[in-house]
A and B are shown apart, each in its own frame.
Chain A
């Protein structure tokens, strides 16, 4: 019994790590630009399929992954400069319609370029281990490790570095930030670069066991969105914890109730949070929203 529970927990944590990275990307963009980026999940699929393509063309795995992640980062920056930045009066509604358009466009490009079949990046180096009947796949270490390194790094960046503090200033006091000389253009580019980068990392670490598919980004992005809502769309830490919880709840629901209800669980949580605690897990209800 305990073995089963731990096995499900491992699966939930590794899946949750992917949601967490996407949530980090969503929050990075939302705090600076107040844009809810529907195309966040597509960044992951783009990086996954791009890596598959590059490795198939003969590029070594590590190089292919790096090239794919950097390319997706550039795509995210281009998305900001060419589309989002062109709109004078950006409301959350317009941002959703715009990014939904980008999401559809990216899906169509992936479908035309790489076909309709799901593909996986080769497994990363490592061995599966078995502890007391609980099997942990090597790729699951990579997924959880990616969250610790990349997700943790971005949290530190926001809290400790000058640039990170500048980004937070843009989020909390946009006018004052501009007065003290923080460039809104640079802040926006940086936020989208972070979104593209974490999306790309999530896409490549998950691809070897969960595969990449042109249409797979929508559901993945929505799971990241649920996690971001758990963080009130402002707190990275709460969103990461929320994402890991979400992954585990999904695994428990699939294991103990029915695998058909797995995706339903995420959206039930979304509805509950929006009705009961729309400010997310951590903010006090009285806190001023930015």
Chain B
């Protein structure tokens, strides 16, 4: 008996040890002083993206975009005659992977600027490393916490707060007073409930229930069952794909029968791939990329968006997503700043703080206080219908 028990436990202990060994990773540690960048040789731009793991639907198009833009730039002669070397590291959608990649880019690759990460959690893990090493970093993720009070960190995705304002304005106009929230359990969904409570107070809207899901989740029955049983007038699902798309599917299949809003985290084809017909009727704030064909002819962003769509489609045979747009904007803001100020870190940072750029996700205007540069005007409201987005309100 004793022996048989041991025989059973031993292999399990080994499996556990192996799995843990695979997960744990040693941090490189230490903050080697970045080499004072010589103003010669290639300019090094590092990127840390969620290419595999739960953020893959974000990281893959971002990686495509950066590769395409780096090639275009070098074909045109680089920046001031200097070639640009792009180094992309996959953080596997993990916080420790992002931190390790950032340390490597700074210490061994000695990059001049870092783009990334794709999601809030990994971006927050990168921030202190970039701040300590005094290397400019441009995140392509959403949560405003990434840049709040930062000195060296900027971001290009629209802030979660302005997205929520847009949703709550619409909810108020439609007379909804009670909302339910089903949110991503990681960094992207952090603080969303607090913002709704805070921003809702002035609009007479209260949050009646909050449910959370992991981005790797596949079954959403428990969350949707609880939402169905609540007295909410409308529901906000806050996540990225595929989980947000699967949540939407479960929402329809479980017949919750309340109007539903999503965040800008779903502005890609993966949403329709995961949700299918269940996506019809979803309202979400997002950048103008996915409704470019419906914009007014004189819209300032229209030209840059259409050029980007044509280039991306020619290179990869598919339409770019909103996330590709965030990477596009980060790249151009970085390259323009290097063009103007060179690769000296302090000069580059100061240049970024006055960056202005008419891009995919909006018209950016960075300041020393605002490292995100976008306001609510960067967002439109769109409604999903049969696999495409219809512009509701510009």
Which of chain B's residues 1-49 have a Cβ closer than 8 Å to chain A? Answer: 1, 4-5, 7-12, 14-15, 18-19
Q: Is the CB of A274 within 8 A of B9?
A: yes
Cβ–Cβ < 8 Å partners of A237 in chain B: none
Nearest-CB distance from B254 to chain A (Å)?
A: 5
Which residue in B1, B5, B211, B249 is a CB contact (below 8 Å) of A209?
Answer: B249
Q: Looking at the assembled complex, report how far the CB atom of A209 sits from the nearest CB atom of chain B, in whole angstroms.
A: 7
- Contacting B274 at CB < 8 Å: which of A115, A211, A259? A211
Which residues does chain A contribute within 8 Å of B123, judged by CB atoms? none
Question: A286 — nearest CB in chain B belongs to which residue?
Answer: B1
Q: In chain B, what residue has the closest Cβ to A233? A: B8
With A116-B51, A209-B249 given, is the CB distance from A92 to B7 under 8 Å? Answer: yes
- B60 close to chain A: CB less than 8 A: yes
Interface residue? B73 (CB, 8 A): no
Q: Are A7 and B242 in contact (CB under 8 A)?
A: no
Indicate if the CB atoms of A117 and B225 lie closer than 8 Å: no
C-alpha spacing A179/B81, complex, angstroms: 80
With known contacts A92-B10, A211-B274, A118–B253 Cβ distance under 8 A:
no
Residues of B within 8 A of A181 (CB): none
Q: How many A residues touch the partner, as a band?
A: 35 or more
Chain B stretch 179-223: residues in CB contact (< 8 A) with chain A? 185, 211-214, 216-219, 221-223
A211 adjacent to B246 (CB under 8 Å)? yes
- Does the CB pair A117–B270 fall under 8 Å? yes
Q: Are A117 and B57 within 8 A (Cβ)?
A: yes
A255-B8 CB under 8 A given contacts A130-B255, A260-B185: no
A259 contacts B15, CB within 8 Å? no
| Set of chain B residues within 8 Å of A88, measured between Cβ atoms | none
Interface mask (A1-22 → B, CB under 8 Å = 1, otherwise 0)? 0011001101100010000000
Partner of A260, one of B11, B212, B226, B274: B212
Within 8 A of B (CB), among A84-118: 92-93, 96-97, 100, 111, 115-118
Q: List 7 A-B contacts (CB under 8 A).
A: A116-B56, A251-B219, A255-B221, A258-B212, A259-B223, A274-B12, A289-B4
User: Which residues of A line the B interface, CB within 8 A?
Assistant: 3-4, 7-8, 10-11, 15, 36, 38, 92-93, 96-97, 100, 111, 115-120, 123, 128, 130, 135, 137, 209-211, 215, 218-219, 233, 251, 254-256, 258-260, 262, 270, 274, 278-279, 285-286, 289
